[in-house]
């Protein structure tokens, strides 16, 4: 029997474990893959306060895990089933059943992939899913943004701070974004549009320097490559996939994400959601760690006095 079980060991989950453990709550973190979540695969982290210059996401994740282990238990097991209703929650892995007074959901979200040749091979070598994280690395270079939704166009505008040009590639002429932001993109001199195109392949040597596109109306192929073979950035914004299937029949969801209040409380008593799993506007490591702190502090108060 635990006071708190945290499902997921990304920055949000590890922070929640650190704070809950320091509050003398018997705490368990369950993780199916590696600590750190998406940040563990990020080569450079420049936007997390206090991180050392040149520090990679894996090094930061390792330190966060090490620190959390000082105060709570971490087990690498996949959660297969949960029972979240009632005062005692049950969490099932392949070979164990764990019980707790509180469950903190920190299963995150994954970037939707293009699933084209070169995307995986050039991750962090020209292919990115986070303009805030990687935009500054493409100062003065050409940048290509894949997608036609609100997020894609907002990130394209942000990337004009860094890129020599920002080119939006979208599979059709219409956008799934507000007309206001579409107009802002059209008015920006740095932004160009490649409409009715899909990305067929991402190519390069040590970094991305070539794209193969296909016209969705004519099926003709188009190659994008600078004359001097200079590298460029490819930022993919075709949506995220929240990792919440495990909870869909028990907890309120909005487009797959878990709505919470400012205390990270869900619609179920004793259940919190944090990080990329929950409905929120900004998904960054710094906001995830903030969520983890808040949830564990609120969990401590709930366990102490039973108020929700």
Please state, in angstroms and rounded to a whole number, the distance separating the CA atoms of residues 11 and 17. 10
* Residue among 243, 11, 43, 53 at smallest CA distance from 127: 43
| pLDDT tens digits, one per residue of 31-54 | 998 898 877 767 667 788 888 887
CATH topology of domain 127-236: FAD/NAD(P)-binding domain (3.50.50)
| pLDDT tens digits, one per residue of 207-231 | 999 999 999 999 999 999 999 999 9
Percent of the chain clearing pLDDT 90 (strictly above):
83
> Cβ distance 1 to 275 under 8 Å?
no
Average pLDDT of the residues in 243-262:
95
Q: Which CATH number, 3.50.50.60, 3.40.50.170, 3.30.70.1400, 1.10.3210.10, labels domain 2-111+240-305?
A: 3.50.50.60
Matching fold, domains 2-111+240-305 and 127-236: yes
pLDDT for residue 301 is more than 90? yes
Mean pLDDT of the chain: 94
Within 8 A by CB and 6+ apart from 296, the residues are 4, 15, 16, 17, 18, 19, 20, 23, 25, 104
Predicted pLDDT of residue 54:
77
Q: Where are the domains of the chain?
A: 2-111+240-305, 127-236
Average pLDDT of the residues in 190-214:
97
Is 133 among the catalytic positions? yes
Is 134 among the catalytic positions? yes
pLDDT for residue 289 is more than 90? yes
pLDDT for residue 235 is more than 80? yes
Average pLDDT of the residues in 81-110:
96
Predicted pLDDT of residue 41:
64
pLDDT for residue 283 is more than 90? no
pLDDT for residue 308 is more than 80? yes
Predicted pLDDT of residue 43:
65
Considering the candidates 72, 133, 142, 185, report the single residue annotated as catalytic: 133
Using pLDDT thresholds of 50, 70 and 90, give the confidence band for residue 57.
Answer: confident
Considering the candidates 3, 62, 72, 134, report the single residue annotated as catalytic: 134
Q: How far is CA 195 from the centre of its chain?
A: 27
Considering the candidates 130, 142, 276, 291, report the single residue annotated as catalytic: 130
DSSP state of 254: B
Q: Per DSSP, which regions of the chain are E strands?
A: 2-7, 27-30, 73-75, 79-83, 89-93, 97-105, 109-111, 127-128, 142-146, 165-170, 191-195, 197-204, 208-215, 221-224, 233-236, 240-242, 271-273
Is 276 among the catalytic positions? no
Predicted pLDDT of residue 15:
98
- Better pLDDT: 151 or 164: 164
Q: What is the pTM of this model?
A: 0.76
| pLDDT tens digits, one per residue of 114-137 | 999 999 999 999 999 988 889 999
Percent of the chain clearing pLDDT 70 (strictly above):
99
* Residue among 105, 21, 72, 68 at smallest CA distance from 300: 21
Average pLDDT of the residues in 234-247:
94
Average pLDDT of the residues in 144-161:
94
Using pLDDT thresholds of 50, 70 and 90, give the confidence band for residue 22.
Answer: very high
């Amino acid at each position: 029997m635990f006071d708190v079980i945290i499902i997921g060991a990304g920055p949000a989950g590890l922070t929640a474990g650190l704070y809950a453990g320091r509050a003398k709550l018997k705490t368990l973190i369950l993780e199916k893959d590696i600590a750190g979540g998406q940040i563990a695969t990020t080569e450079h982290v420049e936007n997390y306060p206090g991180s050392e210059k040149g520090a990679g996401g894996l090094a930061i994740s390792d330190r966060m895990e090490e620190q959390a282990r000082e105060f709570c238990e971490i087990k690498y097991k996949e959660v297969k089933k949960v029972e979240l209703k009632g005062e005692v929650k049950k969490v099932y892995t392949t070979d164990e059943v764990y019980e707790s007074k509180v469950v903190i959901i920190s299963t995150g979200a994954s970037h939707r992939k293009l699933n084209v040749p070169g995307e995986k091979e050039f991750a962090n070598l020209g292919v990115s899913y986070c303009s805030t994280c990687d935009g500054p690395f493409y100062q003065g270079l050409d940048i290509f943004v894949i997608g036609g939704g609100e997020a894609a166009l907002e990130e394209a505008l942000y990337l004009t701070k860094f890129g020599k040009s920002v080119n939006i590639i979208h599979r059709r002429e219409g956008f799934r974004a507000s007309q206001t932001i579409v107009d802002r993109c059209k008015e920006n001199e740095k932004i160009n549009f490649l409409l009715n195109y899909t990305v067929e392949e991402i190519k390069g040597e040590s970094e991305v320097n070539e794209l193969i596109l296909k016209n969705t109306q004519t099926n003709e192929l188009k190659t994008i490559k600078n004359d001097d073979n200079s590298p460029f950035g490819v930022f993919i914004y075709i949506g995220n996939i929240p990792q919440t299937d495990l909870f869909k029949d028990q907890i309120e969801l909005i487009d797959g994400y878990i709505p919470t209040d400012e205390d990270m409380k869900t619609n179920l008593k004793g259940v919190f959601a944090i990080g990329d799993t929950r409905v929120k506007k900004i998904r960054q490591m710094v906001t995830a760690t903030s969520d983890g702190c808040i949830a564990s502090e609120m969990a401590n108060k709930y366990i102490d006095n039973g108020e929700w």
